[in-house]
Structure 1
C-alpha cells in the first residue's frame, strides 16, 4: 500500500510537471525558443528517441520472456507491438532532418510518416491489449514474428519508395499540416478510450500495474497534443512532446513488466514454496497421523510404514520393511493375497472391513482403504494402505444399537404416543411414532413413520393437525385437544431449535378420555351442591308469597265487593313469582346437554339476580345492577353460564356475613363484553389469589373446592377469561370477559 501511494504521488507529480511545461511553453514560447539552442536540437532529439527505442525493445524482450512463463494473451502480442513501434521510432530517428545518410537522405516526409506509423501502431496496439481478455494461449510465435517482419518491410519500403508521392505532413518553418494534426487527434481519441477502459479496470482491481498504465496513457495523450503545437521541427514543443512520450513509454515498461512480470516470477516462487510446504505437510501427516499407513510395491512388499503402523499392529518399521505383507500375518495369507491382487489390477478397496492380527497375537477389526499409486504413464508402481483400528468403535456402535433398541422398546410401551416430525418442502413427515395408544387407535407405527401428514391412516386428521404443526414449526410450544376415533387426546408439540432454527418437533399424545368424564361428573356434583345450598333460600322465598296468598284468601272469604279485585291481582302476581323461581330452580338442578346457542347476556344476568335475591335478602345484602351496554348477545350454553354466575354470586353473598352491597356491572371493553361482580366482603389474601381455581382448595368450612375450578373450565370453553382482584376487609371483584357473537 505504501509503494502504491508513493507511486501515485510520483505519477501525479509527473503529470503536473508535464502540464506546467506545456503551459509555460504556450506563455513563453518565444522566450523559450530563444533560450533553447537550435544547434543542440539534433542531439537532444536523438537522445530522447534512442531512449524511447531502447524502452520499446526492452519491453519487447521482457514480453517475449514473460509469455514463456505465463502463456498469457497480453504477453503474446505486446512484444511484437513494441518491436514494431521501436523499429518505426528508430527509422524516425535515422531519417530526421540533420541526421547522417541512411539508405537515402533524411527528410521531413520520411521522418513524419515513420513518426505517424509508430504512434498509430502504439495507439491501436495498446487499445487492443486493454480491451482483450487475459486468457491462456498456446500458439507458435514464429508465424506472428514472420508477419511482423513482413509488415515492417512493406511499410518501410512503401515510405522510402513513394516518399515524394505521399501527402505532406510537415511544412518547413510552418509546422504540422492539417492532415498530420487530424491523424494526431484521432490517435489521441484512441489513447483516451484506452485510458477510460484502464480506469474502469483499475476501479475493480486496484492494481499498481493498472495505475501506472493510467499515468502512461495520460502522458502519451499529452505528448500527442503537444506535438500538434510546434511551428518548426526545432521548436521547443517538439522536445517537450518527446520528453513526455519517453516517460510514457517508461511507465508502460514498468507497468507491464517490472510489475506484471515481477508478479509472475513471484507467483512462480510462491508456487514452488507452496509445493515445498505441501511436501512437508504430507510428510508430517504421514509421520504423525494415528492411522496406519503402509506403502507397498505392486507385489505387496512393504517399502515403508509410519508410526501409526506400530500403534495399530505392534510391529516397528525395521521389523516389516522389505517383507511381504502376507508374511507378517501368515494365518490371514489368503485374504491378504486377494486384496493385493485386486489393487494390483487397478481397483481401489475403499472402507474395506477385515480382521487383522497384531504382533501380540490379538485380533482387531480394521477399516482399510487400499489404493494403487500410478506413475505418469498410468502404470501401477506402488500401493498405499491406510488402516484404522475400529474395534472400540464397533463395540461403541453395538452399545448404541442396544441403547436404541431399549429406547424404542420404552417408547413402544409408553401409555400414550411419542412422535417426531420434520418439514420437507411444504409437507410434514413423521420420523418416529410409537406407543400403546397406537394399539387403541388400531394404527401400526410403519403406517405413520416416513409418511407425509396427508397420508395419515386416520381420515381427516391431517387437516386438523396441519395448522398446529405449522405453528410449532415457527418455534412455538403448542398444546391442544383433539378427538381421534372417539378418544379425546391432549397433544403437546415442542420444537427443537438449533442455531435459532427449528430442525424437528417432538410431540406427545395422551388419552384424557377418562379425565374428561371425571371432569364432567365433578361439574354435575358441584351443580347439585349449589342447588342444595340454595334450597333453603328458595323455600323461604316461596313461603312468604304463600303466606300472603293464604291471608288474602281468608279476607276474600270474609269480605265481598270491588275491593276483592286488588287482592286477587296481588295474589296472581305472587303466584307468577313462585312459578318463575321454580323454573329457575329446575333449570339449574336438571342435567342438560351442552348446546351453544345465541343468548342475551343481560337477560341471563337479570334472571340470576332474581334467582339470588332471596338469599341476598336473608343476609341483608343489597344487589345493584349496572347495564352500560345495549348489545350483549353471546354464543354460549345457557345452563353452564348460569352455573358460573350462580357460583360467583353465591360466593360473594357468603363473603358478606354481616351484610353489604353487591354490584353487578355489564359493559363493553375492547369489542368484548365484560361482567364485573363486586362485593364488599372480607376479601381474599394476596398469597391465596393465585391458587383460586385449584381443585379441592377452598376457604369454606364445608366447601368442596370445585366450584371455581368448574367455573374456570366453563369460561375457557367459551373462549373467555376470568380474573380475581381482592383486598382484605374491602372486598373482591370478579371480572369475566366473553367474546361477542360474531
Structure 2
C-alpha cells in the first residue's frame, strides 16, 4: 500500500487536496448558509454564468487565433467546443426562472436541459481533446467545423424550445435534481475524470505547467458536476458554489492554453532575438573579413560603406572613399553607371558582370562584379550593394589551362595511333579520352566514344573483343595484345593508373602495325627468295651440263633408231625439255634477265594473252567475258614480263575449271591514278588457310607444279611498283587483282 502511494504520490496528493477542499467547502457552506440571502440568488447566478460565458468566448477566440500559429487538432476543435458551451450557457441563464422574458418565459425545464447540454458539450469535448492523437489533421478548412457547430447548436436549442413540455423533468423545485439529471451528471463527471487521468499521464511525460493547470481545471469541473447533484432548491447555496467552481475551472483552462502559449511566444521571441544577434554578428564578420570587395551605396551611387576587401581589390581605404561617388573613383564605369543605377534601383540585379577596372595605383585588373538592390520591408530599393572580385590571376590560370588542354588535345589528335582512357562506373567502362589520327582512319570520331560506355561502342565486334582485356587492366594487370580492326592489324596496350593500390583509371594506346606486318612478311619472302636463288643457281649449274649431254645423245639415238623405239625416245625428249624448263626457271629466279621498260597499252597486252588461250578455252568449254572500261590504259612496263604474268594467271584459272565454267577479265581505272586488272574464274577455289602462302617457292596445289610461276609473277608485279592480291571462296572461284600505276616512271632493275 505504501509503495503504491509512493509511486503515485502526486495523484494521491491531488486526491487528498480534493477531499480537503470538499470538506472545507462543506464547512464554508454551513457558514455561508447563515449569511446567504436567497433573494439575491438570481443576481448571483447571472453574474457567475456571465463570467463563465465570457471565459468560454475568450477561450474560443484564443483557440481560433492560436490555430494560425500551431496547426494542431487541439486548436482546431477548441474554439468550436467552447463556442458551443458559451452559447448553451447563455441560453441556460437567460431561461433561468426569474430572468426577464427571452424568446419564451423562463422555466426549470428549459434551463435544466440547456445546463445538461452545455455540460455534455464540455465533458465530451474536453475528453476528446485529451486523447493522444497520432493521425494528421484531415480537415484544414475550419468553415466546415464552424458550419457543423452552428447546425448542431441550432438543432439542440430548437429541440429544447419545441419539446419543452415533452422532455423528461430534470429539476423539481424544493426537491432538487431528479434521478435522471444526477445520472447524466455522474456520466459527464466520469468523462471529466477520464480527461483528468489522460492529462496526468501527459504531465508525467512533459512536466509542463500548462498540463498541470489543466489537471486543476478538470478537477474543479469534476467537483462542480458533483456539487450540482446535491442541492434541494435552485436557490440553494450549493448551486452558487457549483457555478463558482465551474467558473474557476474555465479560468484555469484559459490560463493553461493562453498563458502557456504566451510564455512560449516570449521564449520564441528570446530565441529569435538570440538568432538575430548571432546572424548579425555573422553578417558583420562576413562583411568585414570576406576577401571580396563589398561597397554599399545610395541610389545615386554615393559610397556609404566599404569593407577591408575593397582596399585589397582597388587599393582605396574606406576613409578615402566614404561620401564620394563610385564613378569618381572608377572612371571606367562613368559611361554606363547611370544605366546600371537605374536598372538596379528598379529592383533588377546585375550578376557576374566581368569587366576591366583600374586600381588606385593605375594598374588594370579583371573584375567579376555583382550589383544588387537592398530593399526595405515595403519592397522599396533604399541602397545598392556592389560585390567585386579580382579574377585576374584566375583568368590567367584558366587561359593557361585552356591552352594546355588545347595543346594536349592537338598532340593526341596528331599522333599516328590512338590514345584513350577509361574508368569503371556502376559496372560500365566509360571512355573519358579517345583521339588520334588512326581513329579517323578507322572511320570513327571522338564524339562517338568519349563519355559513353564500352557497350555503346559503335562497332559491337570491337566492344566484345575489348571487354575481357578491359577487365584484366582494371584488376591492375598491364595488357598488350593484337587486334584486327577494319583490316588493319593494331597493337593495343592498356596500363592501369593506381592510387593507394586501387585502380582509378586506365590509359590505353593503339598503334597500326599493318605495314610493319607486311614488311615483315616481305622480308621473310626475300630471305626465302635469297635462299631459293642460291639453291637454284647451284642446281641449275650442276644439272645443265649433264642435261646437255643427255639431250644430245638422245637426239642422235632418235635419228639412228627405228620407229619401234621412237615413241619412247620422244617421251624421253619431252621429259628432258621439262627438266630444261625447270632449270631455266631456276636461272630466272637466281639471276633475272635485264628488262626493258617502255610505254605500252595494258589492254592490248591483256587481249594478246587472252587470244592465245581462246582455242584451249573452247576445247574445255570455258566462256570468256571481257570488260575494258578505262579512260586511259597506257603504262610504263616490260610487255613480255607482264604477258608472262597474265599467261601464268590465266593458265591457273583454266586449270581450276576442269569441267568448264566462266572466266571474267576486266581492266578499269581507280580513283588514285592506277589501273586494275581482275581475272576471276568459277573454279574450285582456294581455302582461306592457303591464300597467305600463295607465291611461296615450291608451294603448289598442282600435282606436277613447282610453285615458282606465282613467285616469279609476284616479283614481276613488284618490280613494276604494283600489287597482286588473291581473293577466293571454295567451290565458288578465285579472283586475282593486279594494280599497276599509270605512266609512272620506273627504275630499271
TM-score calculated relative to the size of structure 2: 0.48
TM-score calculated relative to the size of structure 1: 0.49
